[in-house]
Amino acid sequence: MNRNRYLADYVTLLIVAVVLALVPLGVGGSAYYLRIATLMLIYMAYAVAFNIIFGHTRQLFLCIGALAGSSAYLSVVLVTKGSLPPWATIPLGIVFAALLGGVFSYVSVRRGLGVIFVGIVTLVFSLIFHNLILGLRELTNGETGIETRGLGAAALESGRGSYYVILAVLMACLVVYHLLMRSRAGMAFRAIADDEIAAELAGIDVTSYKVLAASVGSALVGAVGAVYAYYSGFINPTVYALVSVDIVVLITLLLGGMGTLLGPVLGGVLFAVLDELVRPLGRLNVLVYGVLMIVLVITFRHGLVAALRKIAKVRIP
Amino acid sequence: MIAILVDGIVQGLQLSLMAVGITLIYGLGGVLNLAHGQFAVVGGITTALFIGEGMNPLAACALGVVSAGVLGLAVDRTVLVPAYRSAGEERLLLGLLITLGLSFVVNGYLDYKYPNIALTIRLATPSFNVVGITIRTASAVVALIAIVAFVLLFAFLKGTLLGKVIRSVIQNEVGAGLCGIDPGRIRTLIVTLSAMMAGLGGVAQGLFSSLGTEMGNELTSFALIVAVVGGVRSINGTLAAGVLLGIVNAFASYFVGAYLTLIILLGTAVFTILLRPAGLFAYRT
C-alpha cells in the first residue's frame, strides 16, 4: 500500500519533470514566452515551500516575499560589496531565511499565537523588511535596486539554460517535499493539520514539527528567492513585495490545492494562463487577482487536485 | 517642541478613528479587516470627486463618509457572509483572506479608474495662535472631528439600549443570541458604522495633508498597528494607543527620520503581540 503510494509519487514527479522540460521546445524560440514559463516555475517553487508551511501545519506566513528577499539581498549584497562568488553566498541566504522562518514559528508556537496573530506578525515583518531595504540605501540602493550578474559560467543568463537551472530548483523543492512527507515528520504534519490538540496528546512534539516545517519551507523560499535574483539580473523591493509574491503564491496554492504534491504545480500552470489572459487589462490585473482570491476562498477552497480526485475518482498525489 | 506634541496627538486621534473600526469589527464579527484603509480611501476619494464637481465641501465630505458606509454595508452582506457562516479559526482565516482580496479589488479599481485623483482640503485660515503657539486650523478641525466622533461612539455604546446590545454581542455571541438578539444585524450595523468612521478618517487625512488612491495599504497597516497595540478587543485601549503612537510617530519622525520611525512603530506592534497579546492597556485576567 505504502510502496504503491510512493510509486505514484515518483511517477508523478517524473511526469512533471518531463512535461516541464518540454515546455521550452513547445514555445519555440519566443524569449517572451520562455520568460513567462520561467516565472511560472519560480512561483510553483514558492508555492511548494508555502504548502509545507501553510498547507500542512496551518502557519499563515504572509512574508514569503520578505523571506525570499532577505535571502536574495543578503546574497547579492555580499557579492557586490564583499566580492564573494554567488555560489558561496546563496547558501548563507538560505540559512538566513531558514533561521528567520524558524524563529517566527518558534516564537508564535511558544506564545500560543492563533493563525491570525501569526498572520499579523509576519505581515508586519514584510513591512519592516520593505522599509529596511528602502532605508539602508548605501547597501541596497533603495528603490533603484541592484543589478546582479549571472552565476559565473553563464548558467543563469536569460534563456534556455536558466530555464533548466530553475526547473532543477523546482524539482529539488518537490523532492524535498516528497521526502519530508514520507518521513515521520509527514505523518506528524498530517496529524497536526487534522487536530493540533489531539496530535499533542498522541505524543507528537507539535512545537518542533511546526518549527521544522517553517524552517524547511523558509529555506526553500530563500533558495528560490536567491536564484531568482541572479536570473532576473536586477532586484529591488518591489520584486519581493507582498503584491508581487505572497498574493500570487497564495492564489497558486489555493487554485491547485493545499496539502498536495501536485497542487502547486497545477496551480502554477493555471495561474500563468490566467495571468496571460488578464495581461491586456493592464493595471486592472490587481483587481482580477483580488476577485480571484475572494472567489477561490469562498467557493474553491480545496483546489483543483481535490476537484479532480472527486470527478475522476483516481488517486492524485 | 509643543507643536510636535500637538501634531502627534492630532495624528494619533486620526489613527484611532480608523483603528477603532478594526477593533469593533474584530471584536464583534471575528473578522480582521485588512481592507480597512481602503474604506478610508473610498470615503476620501469620493469626497474629492464631489468637490471636483463643484459641490459644497461640507456636503461632499458627508457624502464621502456615507459612501464608505455603503461600501461597508455591501461588503458585510455579500462577501463576508461565508466567513460568518463558519466559526472559530476557520472564520478568522476566511475573513482575513477575503478582506485581503477585497483590498486588492479596491486598490486595483481606484488605481485604474482614478490614478491621479487626490483629496486635499484647504481651509480658509491656515493657522491661528493660542497662547503663543501656532496651531494649524486643519489640525484643530481634525482633532475636533475625532473627539466628537469618539464622544458620540462612547455615548452610543454606553448610553443606549442598542449600545448595550452591541456590547453584549462582543462579550458573548451565543449568549446574546439566546437573549433574542440577532448577531447578524448587529454585525451589519457595526461594520457599516466602522466603515463610516474609516471614511471620516480618510477625509481627515485629506484635511491634514493629502490622501491619494494608493494610500490604502499604508492606512490599513497604521490602523492595524494601533489596533494591535491597543488590544484588538478594547475600544478605550485603541484610543489610548492611537494617541500614544501618534506622539511617538511625531517625535521619532522629527529626530530619527521617517524610515526608522515606521520600523519603531512596527517593532512596537510585534513586541505587543508577543508580550501582551491582549494589548498594552488590557487588564490582566
To test the contact with chain B by mutation, choose from A57, A111, A116 the residue with the greatest count of B C-beta atoms within 10 A, namely A116
Contacts of B236 (CB under 8 A, 6+ apart): B281
User: Which residues of B are less than 8 Å from A113 in CB distance?
Assistant: 273, 277
Beta bridge partners of B49: none
Question: 508586519: which residue's cell?
Answer: A124
User: Which residues of B are less than 8 Å from A250 in CB distance?
Assistant: 97
Beta bridge partners of B134: B129
What pLDDT score does B49 carry? 92
C-alpha–C-alpha distance, residues A114 and B55, integer Å: 47
Identify whether the C-beta of residue B233 lies closer than 8 Å to the C-beta of residue B170.
yes
When pLDDT is cut at 50, 70 and 90, the band that residue B63 belongs to is: very high
C-alpha–C-alpha distance, residues B147 and A257, integer Å: 48
Q: Rounded to the nearest 10 degrees, how much is the dihedral formed by the CA atoms of B30, B199, B115, B75?
A: 40
What is the separation of C-alpha A164 from the centre of its chain, rounded to a whole number of angstroms? 18
Nearest to A37, CA basis, from A272, A314, A302, A276: A272
B211-212/B127-130 β-pairing: unpaired
C-alpha–C-alpha distance, residues A31 and A36, integer Å: 9
Beta strands in B168-265 (DSSP E): 211-212
Distance from CA of A150 to the nearest CA of B (A): 32
C-alpha–C-alpha distance, residues A184 and A209, integer Å: 10
pLDDT-above-90 percentage for chain B: 35
Q: What is the ipTM of this complex?
A: 0.85
CB count within 10 Å of CB B214 equals 13
Is B112 in Cβ contact with A120 (below 8 Å)? no
> Residue A150 pLDDT more than 70?
no
Is B266 in Cβ contact with A290 (below 8 Å)? no
CB count within 10 Å of CB B152 equals 11
Q: Which helix (H) or strand (E) holds B80?
A: none
A168 burial level (CB within 10 Å; 0-12, 13-18, 19+): middle
C-alpha–C-alpha distance, residues B51 and B61, integer Å: 9
Read off the pLDDT of each residue in B241-264 and give the average, rounded to a whole number: 87
A244 touches B at CB < 8 Å: no
Straight-line distance from the first to the last Cα atom of chain B, in angstroms, rounded to the nearest whole number: 39
Closest-approach residue (CA) in chain A for B90? A115
Is B277 in Cβ contact with A120 (below 8 Å)? no
Summary mean pLDDT of chain A:
88
pTM reported for the whole predicted model = 0.89
What pLDDT score does B149 carry? 93
Read off the pLDDT of each residue in A50-68 and give the average, rounded to a whole number: 93
When pLDDT is cut at 50, 70 and 90, the band that residue A157 belongs to is: low
User: Which residues of B are less than 8 Å from A292 in CB distance?
Assistant: 101
Summary mean pLDDT of chain B:
87
A279 touches B at CB < 8 Å: no
Helix (H, G, I), strand (E, B) or coil at B134: strand
Read off the pLDDT of each residue in B244-261 and give the average, rounded to a whole number: 87
When pLDDT is cut at 50, 70 and 90, the band that residue B90 belongs to is: confident
Identify whether the C-beta of residue B226 lies closer than 8 Å to the C-beta of residue B272.
no
Give the residue, B35 or A112, on which the prediction is more confident: B35
What pLDDT score does B167 carry? 87
Question: 477625509: which residue's cell?
Answer: B203
What pLDDT score does B105 carry? 92
To test the contact with chain A by mutation, choose from B42, B85, B93 the residue with the greatest count of A C-beta atoms within 10 A, namely B93
Read off the pLDDT of each residue in A38-64 and give the average, rounded to a whole number: 93
Identify whether the C-beta of residue A41 lies closer than 8 Å to the C-beta of residue A268.
yes
Q: Give the one of B93, B105, B224 whose C-beta lies nearest to A290's C-beta.
A: B105
Closest-approach residue (CA) in chain B for A123? B221
For chain A, what is the radius of gyration of the CA atoms? 19
Beta bridge partners of A146: A235
Q: Rounded to the nearest 10 degrees, how much is the dihedral formed by the CA atoms of A125, B253, B221, B89?
A: 60
Helix (H, G, I), strand (E, B) or coil at B53: coil
DSSP for chain A reads: -HHHHHHHHHHHHHHHHHHHHHHHHHTTT-HHHHHHHHHHHHHHHHHHHHIIIIIIH------HHHHHHHHHHHHHHHHHHH---HHHHHHHHHHHHHHHHHHHHHHHHHTT--HHHHHHHHHHHHHHHHHHHHH-HHHH-GGG-EE----SSSTTSTTHHHHHHHHHHHHHHHHHHHHHHHSHHHHHHHHHHH-HHHHHHTT--HHHHHHHHHHHHHHHHHHHHHHHHHHHSEE-GGGGSTTTTHHHHHHHHHHH-TT-SSHHHHHHHHHHHHHHHHGGGGGGHHHHHHHHHHHHHHH-TTHHHHHHHHHH-----
What cell does B17 get? 478613528
Read off the pLDDT of each residue in B190-195 and give the average, rounded to a whole number: 94
Please give the DSSP secondary-structure letter assigned to residue B180: T
When pLDDT is cut at 50, 70 and 90, the band that residue B284 belongs to is: very low
Beta bridge partners of B133: B130
Identify whether the C-beta of residue A38 lies closer than 8 Å to the C-beta of residue A166.
yes
Distance from CA of A24 to the nearest CA of B (A): 33
When pLDDT is cut at 50, 70 and 90, the band that residue A231 belongs to is: confident
What pLDDT score does A2 carry? 60
> Residue A159 pLDDT more than 80?
no
B8: left (phi over 0), alpha (psi -120 to 50) or beta: alpha
Tell which A residues from 40 to 99 touch B, by Cβ distance under 8 Å: 60
Q: Give the one of A117, A134, A290 whose C-beta lies nearest to B259's C-beta.
A: A134
B140 burial level (CB within 10 Å; 0-12, 13-18, 19+): middle
C-alpha–C-alpha distance, residues A106 and A207, integer Å: 7
To test the contact with chain B by mutation, choose from A57, A108, A120, A126 the residue with the greatest count of B C-beta atoms within 10 A, namely A120
User: Which residues of B are less than 8 Å from A132 in CB distance?
Assistant: 259, 263
User: Which residues of B are less than 8 Å from A280 in CB distance?
Assistant: none
Single-letter residue type at B15: L
When pLDDT is cut at 50, 70 and 90, the band that residue A177 belongs to is: very high
Distance from CA of A243 to the nearest CA of B (A): 9
What pLDDT score does A286 carry? 83
Q: What ranges do the domains of chain B cover? A: 16-215
